[in-house]
Every structure is written in structure tokens, then in C-alpha cells.
Amino acid sequence: MIYTIVGARPNFMKAAPIHRAFERAGVAHALVHTGQHYDEAMSKVFFGELGMPRPAVDLGVGSGTHAQQTAAVLVGLERFFTDHRPDAVIVVGDVNSTMAATLVTAKMGVFSAHVEAGLRSRDWDMPEEVNRVVTDALADLLLTPSHDADRNLLAEGCAPDTIVCVGNVMIDTLHEHLPRARALDVPERLGVTPGGYAVLTLHRPSNVDDPVTLRHLVGAVARVAERVPVVFPVHPRTRQRAAAAGVELARIAGLVVTDPLGYLEFLSLTSRARLVLTDSGGLQEESTVLGIPCLTLRENTERPITIEQGTNVLVGTDPATIVRAALEALERRPGAAHRVPELWDGRAAERIVGAVLSRLS
């Protein structure tokens, strides 16, 4: 049996096409859910929408400090794999579950492949950067989304024959579901006009955990919302931090606050947006493929290809700079021609399965 590990929200869109590609190849494959995310809106909704089977096990690790969460995955997964020895394990992305699962497989002598290998922000304050580097140091097969990631791995001394550029598997999911998402009327239901609103997501600890930074960012968004409605599906971490910092999101004129959305609803929303403001990694990539201008509210990105070839601009976290960049972006004519990086073609899962099976035979 080959297992793919999922834990947190961005893992689900990457695991779904991998599961189906194994099914098409007639190879036994199952999901293991660590339970890092567990809410209906952060986890359960994606299984139904993306057509994923129930996981073979849910380790139920839940929330906690980094050490608690990582340790719970280590213990739970080692126990499960002791009883259900895998032929191979696939990990995706850069969340705590990804890193912990790779450590378990390495210690148990189980073959592992990392999907989304080689991305680097070079920002060691980001928990995901630690997860990326540890995961890539331990995984046997490094499956990259783009050639800049290949170069990062080679520079770190990874053996060339362990690296395969397979493209971006999350874009497989986007291509598959875009027609269904476009058929939904999510902007209308939220009271905004297609093509006439911005979408905001914010959840990085560096942006939301410090009350001063959070207030500055929300202040900048309030200025943008004077010009164009801003729809803000709020991540649970951000909701908690905003409440603790006394930031009343619901009082900001022009800001449309919602709970986190499912995949299809969110894609319906972003695909018709005029502008995206985000600190998410995945949304930088999705907006690049959709051709929607994206302002990334961070000082760095592990996805520079979305800037070189896509629609992404790194604007940082200075409020005046964010407002200026947003107003400039809104001035520009929408629908300008855009490029999509090589191998972001909807067929990455096929290449992932091919690369994994070739190593096992």
C-alpha cells in the first residue's frame, strides 16, 4: 500500500489528484489524515468536494504548540505504520504534518517522496521553511513544482537523480474544478459584483500573531476597502488573534467578512476577483494561473516563479506600500495576457505517480 499524508488545509488539494492518478494506474493507495486541521471548514468539506475517500486513519493530533503537534504525529504515525507497513509514503507541502511524517518514514526505513520539494523562502522565522528543509533532507525522492526548486536542492547538495520536476499538482485540482466553481454564484451571494471586488486572506503567524502588525495590515485593508469591496474569509487563527487584539473586522466599511470557504466556493470567488491580497503560498500560484493580479503581504516568497512568470507582486507589510500597490493595481486594465509556468498543466499527478512507481519497481 502507498500512503499519502494529509494534515492541514492546503494538503487536501494536492493529495486529491494524486489519489485519483494512483487509482487510474490500478495501484493501491490510501490517505492518512494526521488531524492537524479538524474543523468542518478547514478539513471535512474538502473530502466531499474533491472526491477523496475517507482516510485509512485519522490520527486526531489537533492543535497545539509546534512540539506538541509534531510529537503527536510522530507517535501516532509510527504506531500506524508499525501495524500497516507501507511500500512508500508521499508527503505534500510544508506543514508540520509533512515534516513529522517524513521523519517517521526515514527512521522506519520506508521510502518517501516529497511533493513540492525545493521551495525556499530563506526566512528561518517561518515555521514552514524549517519544515521544507528538514523534509527535503530526509525524503528519498524530491518532486519539484518548478526548475527554481531543482536549483535550490542541487545547491544544498541533493543528488541529481533524486530530483524530478513534475510541475504543480495543486494546479491539477484547479483545472479539474474550475468549470464547477465558475458555475457557482459566490460573489453574488456575498453581495459583490463579479470583477469588482478584491479577495483577502491572512493567516501567517508573522502577520497575525503580533497585534501591532495585525492592526497595521487591517488598517491598510480598510483603506483599500474604501475603494473596492474586499471579501475576507477569515482563518481560525486570524479570527482568534483579531479578537484578542481588539480588532473589530465586522465594523470596517467595505470589508465583507466570512468564515473560511470550501474549495469550490473559494475558487468561484478568486476566479472572478479584480485583485487578490494574501500571505498564502497556494493563492500566489492559483492567481498566477487564473491571471488575477496578486499582492503578497510578505517580505519574501518561496514561490518566486509566481513573480517572474505570474501575476504576483511582493509588497511586504508596510501599510502605505500596500495601499499604493493596491490602488495602482486597480487602475490597470483587467484581463491582461499572462504566462503560466512550465508543467503547471493539470498533469502533475500523473508524473508524480510515474516517478514514484519507477523507483519502487
State which of residues 2, 6, 8, 89 lies at the interface with ligand UD1 (CB under 6 A): 8
State which of residues 96, 284, 301, 312 lies at the interface with ligand UD1 (CB under 6 A): 96
Stretch of 6-14, 83-91, 153-161, 290-298 contacting ligand UD1, by CB under 6 A:
6-14
42 in contact with ligand UD1 (CB under 6 A):
yes
Stretch of 2-10, 155-163, 185-193, 351-359 contacting ligand UD1, by CB under 6 A:
2-10
338 in contact with ligand UD1 (CB under 6 A):
no
261 in contact with ligand UD1 (CB under 6 A):
no
133 in contact with ligand UD1 (CB under 6 A):
no
268 in contact with ligand UD1 (CB under 6 A):
no
Write the burial class of residue 82 (CB in 10 Å: 0-12 exposed, 13-18 middle, 19+ buried). exposed
C-alpha cell at 147: 526548475
CB 264 within 8 A of CB 181: yes
Buried-exposed string 17-29: b where 16+ CB fall within 10 A, e elsewhere: bbbbbbeeeebeb
Query: What is the closest distance, in whole angstroms, from the C-beta atom of residue 259 to ligand UD1 in the complex?
Result: 11
State which of residues 27, 38, 106, 299 lies at the interface with ligand UD1 (CB under 6 A): 38
Stretch of 38-46, 191-199, 289-297, 298-306 contacting ligand UD1, by CB under 6 A:
38-46
Which positions from 192 to 221 touch ligand UD1 by CB under 6 A, shown as an x/- string?
Answer: -----------x------------------
Give the integer Cα–Cα distance in Å for 124 and 132: 11
236 in contact with ligand UD1 (CB under 6 A):
yes
- Tracing cell 530526509 back to the chain, one arrives at 138
181 in contact with ligand UD1 (CB under 6 A):
no
Helices (H), the chain: 9-25, 45-49, 66-83, 96-108, 127-138, 147-155, 169-182, 186-189, 205-208, 211-227, 236-245, 263-271, 281-290, 305-308, 319-331, 348-360
CB 298 within 8 A of CB 290: no
36 in contact with ligand UD1 (CB under 6 A):
yes
3-state secondary structure of 247: coil
63 in contact with ligand UD1 (CB under 6 A):
yes
Task: Give which of 174, 220, 213 is closest to 198, Cα–Cα.
Answer: 220
The residues that are catalytic are 203
Which positions from 284 to 313 touch ligand UD1 by CB under 6 A, shown as an x/- string?
Answer: ------------------------------
State which of residues 49, 116, 128, 350 lies at the interface with ligand UD1 (CB under 6 A): 128
Task: Give which of 77, 44, 97, 285 is closest to 114, Cα–Cα.
Answer: 97
- Tracing cell 500571505 back to the chain, one arrives at 279
User: Residue 294 forms beta bridges with which residues?
Assistant: 276, 312
254 in contact with ligand UD1 (CB under 6 A):
no
Give the integer Cα–Cα distance in Å for 360 and 352: 13
Stretch of 8-16, 219-227, 287-295, 317-325 contacting ligand UD1, by CB under 6 A:
8-16
By beta-carbon proximity to ligand UD1, the closer residue of 120 and 235 is 235
State which of residues 57, 73, 95, 255 lies at the interface with ligand UD1 (CB under 6 A): 95
3-state secondary structure of 89: strand
**Binding stretches for ligand UD1 (CB under 6 A):** 8-10, 36-39, 42-43, 63, 95-96, 127-128, 203, 235-237, 240
